Amino acid sequence: MGVFIVKCFSICCLFLFSNVFAQKIEKGFGVGWGYALNERTIPEGVYRLLYVQGRVAYNLTYGKLPHKSIFEKLLVGAEPQYNRVWIDTAPKEWETGLNFFLQPTFFLNKTFQPYCVFSLGPHYFSTPTIHQRQGFIFSDSMGIGSYVSLHKKVYFHFNFRIRHLSNANTRLPNFGINTYNFHCGWVW
């Protein structure tokens, strides 16, 4: 419960702080779904998860690029997340963490803006498996996605990511868990 309270407090602080620099800051919320690529390394069953994540990013290129540039923006930011995990033998597990990301976004037209995203960060992993130890763990991912304009400054975004979880050999066992992930949400 304490982790949940800290996470909620962190998300609130990020959103409150982001209102100070609204023209350079992107805020958002999203959900997602993922499943394991390497079921054979998880004897307990298929690893599936449901994402709930916030999003705060700073546009490093705000006001610095010419209007007709194909490169729309370069975002750096954070995605706090709480993820429900389902494995056949452990159906009520969870993971939580904070990923830091880099996201170059390209301008095709006013309604469709593709991007690629690279992220990494610390997580806590509650799921008991034979090949991956519980506790402190790292998450890294990469993917592609797009913004779709809904209003002047409100966008629907969706992306596909491949994610790797492991504890970087700080403890054994450390086989890692790789997942395909689909995310969607709103940013403003």
User: How does pLDDT run across 111-157, given as a tens digit for each residue?
Assistant: 899 999 999 999 999 987 888 888 999 999 999 999 999 988 899 99
Give residue 108's pLDDT: 85
pTM: 0.81
Tell me the per-residue pLDDT of 8-51, one tens digit each, with 9 for 90 and over. Answer: 445 544 444 444 444 589 999 999 999 887 655 577 888 899 99
- CA dist., res. 34 & res. 39, Å (int): 13
- For domain 2-187, the CATH class is mainly beta
Backbone angles phi, psi at 134, to 5 degrees: -70, 165
Tell me the per-residue pLDDT of 47-69, one tens digit each, with 9 for 90 and over. Answer: 899 999 999 999 988 766 555 55
Per-residue pLDDT band at 103 (split at 50, 70, 90): very high
Radius of gyration of the chain (CA): 17
Give residue 181's pLDDT: 96
- With a CB cutoff of 8 Å and minimum separation 6, the contacts of 43 are 129, 130, 131
**In the chain, where the domains are located:** 2-187
Give residue 143's pLDDT: 98
167 DSSP assignment? -
